[in-house]
Structure 1
């Protein structure tokens, strides 16, 4: 089966036309969703990029794989969708990046791969790199086209035209739309597909960097949404210590979000402009994804290709005074997912699924379509039946774990007076409530009304059930290892039950 597995970066799940956003222009993703199935309550189980992509590709929760921040190595014992596909005779190709930190135990201490978190998930053959610090090919193309590429720093490639001393230098990129980083990524993918696209066993994973910051876009995208952007949600009435620390961190850090932006001096107009540029970057990605679809159609292989489009994590976009992809709010973890199977397979075209799904389900779904067995610890469940039209209630809840230790400078550790191992949170979101668990702190409970999350104090019985659900989730999702394997006269026997059994058990107990 031909597979084109597309990922974008930092695109939150409500900023899409097909998902109901009133002004976002995503006509090509809207079209793809109309020909496949879209999952409107799809959530990442970790952030930032490295941990989330690790979970998406391995199907494992972060409490199992423990690659919990950018730079935390992934242990070599874990399988992933690329390694499983390669073992089955496929040749998974990567255009872009996976931000996989290599296992130090598997290589010499002076191996260059141990000096960057921007490694490649085992099993993939990387055709091209296109990450924040690996933009050499794009830089060369800009230089060849006559653009000023500045010094060697990647930030020089994203310089604003006529940037001033404003908190947000609201000016477009110095390159034109035909030579942007997104155009370069799409050009490279199209070139690849024109050579290898007809391979019926193609497995290509392409990762677009945008709409990830820096918040600068070429025209017409930089000002595409002038006057069409809604304001960010206001500050919460009762910010918790982590939120206050996050705001202080983003105000002090020069490289956390976008070094051209002075986060401490942002005005409401700056916030509107930043949200506008983000939307423009997203629409630019949509345009180039449309070019990729046109390439498939021109080769008459679009109808024969399994296409999956998703993302690693969302973006706060100034909501509640926060930027980036941290914490416990939906905006940072709610992400898109579209699945369009080959025309020869069943599909409930245009179906919009509102049941909960998690990004670990992507690995299980790909494995199902490819006929691969998944390891026992995989937390994901296949969504293929839902794509084909079967009744689908979704997960009873979604969860994510966020680790905010910063051992380089101990920022959160010092400001919150916590050891590094206590700088993490486990979040469980049900259809009606959310609970946030952190070591050494009282559980936080949230509800949502009219799109706004607010802290609440549930009645004692509801609070107890949420706490019990959180404990049960952590216990039943411990690493299985050999826990369900028994040695006997016949040799090792495995007694693993399907993952759906656990979800059905928890649904029956708590919902």
Structure 2
């Protein structure tokens, strides 16, 4: 058994021809419709990058218990389990967050791994002499942002497309396939940080969208909400920003095509599973927001593209309507490689959908730690906000007290306590650490309810109190089902029911 997972970061469904886009040039993504099953209702779960990858390893929701952080000592990893079952796993990535405090335990779960440097604010090239960009466009990262300055330092090492780290990921992936495609029992994960911002891309792809070479292009948006007046004022910049993003997707598309060409040449379609996926999407002006994390988890962020080719399967080339999520990938890989799945997973194998025509999920959860807790039941999206502006109690359950870069604040560590083991920690006691902040305070936005059948673009929140009550009860039961911590119930205003 052989499998390839080609994962892009921040790949928005609405920018792909497979999902109806008619202006982004992505012919190789379009090729996937013939060879793969195209999933129409695939969703992320825990946002953003590393929380999503924890789900990819464990098959469990992360965001209810933990913010951005590493794989925990008590976690099970599907890739480590594959190793123990004599399935060789190899990771090739340019996702620099793997190599930071908040992600340093993921890549070591594979049999081997390769990493390429230079994406975003990767602390790579010394930035003492980095040229600061003179762009003062308010939609871009501010001039004193360290990651932004680091980006320009890293760019001093990128002179042509071949120097770009995501291109090197594909190069090394093709090298792996050339050497090993005739062997058996392996899993290859090719993970490109693109098209994540900054939308830095060679000119030939920008030319596809008639973008001019200019120093003040808005290509690295600040995560923010725009008033109606601001959105109108920056309308031209937002249009250009969307094209910069599209140009980067077109580059990703070209290199996806190189992998598909190799599969054609070696006829790997007959014996190799292929998954093409992402962790989340992005807001580029929709709902007056730019970015992710700070905004509610609208469809543009959490409803993501997903493609899967299963050798010899009758549904290849067809569309799959059933509700599915990132948490379903660990049990799917376990079933494909014929090994036993973990206990206590929130996910369920996609083979239940495509082979047995069974419903994987009546409803799903998604969100960021400390933000809205969201439920989707196939029709309604219910976004439950914090009950108070203090957004408390907010605690994390961990044995690894690190954040994206660095450690939990000493003020939080001073208040930590030991918690008993439970379903989430696989019975292992862990630390309960109070958090003093979160990506966003959902209280300021309030609880939202949308009917995706009649309002797929989520423009008109529903005020129906009875429907709110019904969805509120569904969310409560779903949180109980997955073992959400007591503090989350209280933070959302359920304290009388816990």
TM-score, with normalisation over the residues of structure 1? Answer: 0.69
Equivalent runs, 1:203-222 vs 2, <5 Å: 203-222=187-206
Q: Does 1:330 align with 2:299?
A: yes
Separation (CA, whole Å) in 2 of partners of 1:194 and 1:37: 25
Residue equivalent to 2:402: none
Structure 2 spans left out of the alignment, 5+ residues:
141-154, 212-221, 388-442, 486-498
Structure 2 equivalent of residue 431 of structure 1: 378
1:470 to 460, 469, 475: 475
1:120 to 99, 106, 111: 106
Whether contact under 8 Å (1:216, 1:222) holds in the other structure is no
Equivalent pairs counted in the alignment come to 398
> For 2:352 and 2:473, how far apart are their aligned partners in 1?
30
From 345, 348, 351, the counterpart of 2:318: 351
The separation in 1 between residues aligned to 2:262 and 2:16, in whole angstroms, is: 23
The CA distance in 2 between the partners of 1:26 and 1:456, in whole Å, is 33
Q: Describe the superposition over 1:338-390 as per-residue Cα deviations: whole angstroms up to 9, x where unpaired.
A: 110123xx2312111223211111111111101122222211111124344x5
Structure 2 contact 11–196 (Cα < 8 Å) conserved = yes
* 1:60-75 alignment, distance < 5 Å: 60-62=60-62, 66-69=65-68, 72-75=69-72
Secondary structure at 1:191 match in 2: helix
Aligned equivalent of 2:349: 382
- State the match for 1:94 in structure 2: 91
2:224 corresponds in structure 1 to 247
Residue 396 (structure 1) aligned with residue 362 (structure 2): yes
- Residue pair 2:28, 2:256 contacting (<8 A) in 1 also: yes
Matched, 1:180 2:157: no
CA contact (8 A) 1:59 1:378 kept: yes
Report the equivalent of 1:447.
451
SS in 2 for 1:24: coil
Question: Equivalents in 1 of 2:127, 2:377: separation in Å?
Answer: 44
Judged with a 3 Å threshold, the aligned counterparts in structure 2 of structure 1 residues 467 and 116 are, in CA distance, closer, same or farther, namely closer
| CA displacement at 1:58 relative to structure 2 | 1.2
Aligned to 2:419: none
Q: Are 1:60 and 1:380, in contact at CA under 8 Å, matched by a contact in 2?
A: yes
RMSD over aligned CA atoms reads 3.5
- Deviation (angstroms), 1:309: 0.8
Q: How much does 1:273 deviate?
A: 0.8
Query: How far does the alpha carbon of each residue in 1:22-61 deviate from its partner, in whole angstroms, 9 at most, with x for none?
Result: 2223222222232121112211101110001111221111
| 1:196 CA drift (Å) | 2.4
Return the alpha-carbon distance in structure 1 between the equivalents of residues 62 and 97 of structure 2. 13
C-alpha distance in structure 1 between counterparts of 2:179 and 2:188, whole Å: 12
Secondary structure in structure 1 of the residue aligned to 2:240: helix
Matches within 5 A, 1:89-238: 89-96=86-93, 115=101, 117-130=103-116, 152-153=126-127, 166=137, 175-226=159-210
Q: Report if aligned partners of 1:50, 1:98 keep a CA contact under 8 Å in 2.
A: no
- In the TM superposition, what is the alpha-carbon distance from 1:304 to its structure 2 partner? 1.7
Instruction: Select 2:250's aligned residue among 265, 280, 283.
Output: 283
Shift of the 156–285 alpha-carbon distance from structure 1 to 2, 3 Å rule, reads farther
> Matches of 2:204 and 2:231 in 1, distance apart?
28
Deviations 1:411-461 (A, max 9, x none): xxxxxxxxxxxx332101233322112331563323345543135344333
Residue pair 2:11, 2:282 contacting (<8 A) in 1 also: yes
Superposed displacement of residue 333, structure 1: 1.1
Deviations along 1:274-323, whole A, 9 cap, x unmatched? 10011111121111011012223333434321111110111111212222
2:274 maps to: 307
- Structure 2 vs 1, CA of residues 281 and 3 (structure 1 numbering), >3 Å: closer, same or farther? same
Maintained 8 Å contact 1:58/1:78: yes
- Cα distance in 2, alignment partners of residues 5 and 193 from structure 1: 12
- 1: CA distance between counterparts of 2:304 and 2:49? 13
Cα gap change, 1:164 to 1:265, in 2 (>3 Å): farther
CA distance in 2, matches of 1:75, 1:119: 8
Asked if the contact 2:352–2:360 (Cα under 8 Å) also holds between the matched residues in 1, the reply is no
Kindly state the Cα deviation for residue 63 of structure 1 after the two structures are TM-superposed.
5.1
What CA distance in whole angstroms lies between the structure 2 residues aligned with 1:62 and 1:155? 39
For structure 1, which runs of at least 5 residues remain unmatched after alignment? Answer: 102-112, 140-150, 228-244, 252-262, 404-422, 481-511
Matching residue of 2:216: none
1:293 aligns with 2:297: no
Going from structure 1 to structure 2, the CA distance change for 1:22 and 1:371 (only over 3 Å counts) comes to: same
**Residue 461 of structure 1 is aligned with which of 455, 466, 489?**
466
Partner of 1:499: none
Deviates more, 1:3-12 or 1:13-22: 13-22
**1:175/1:431 CA distance change after superposition, 3 Å:** same
SS in 1 for 2:307: strand
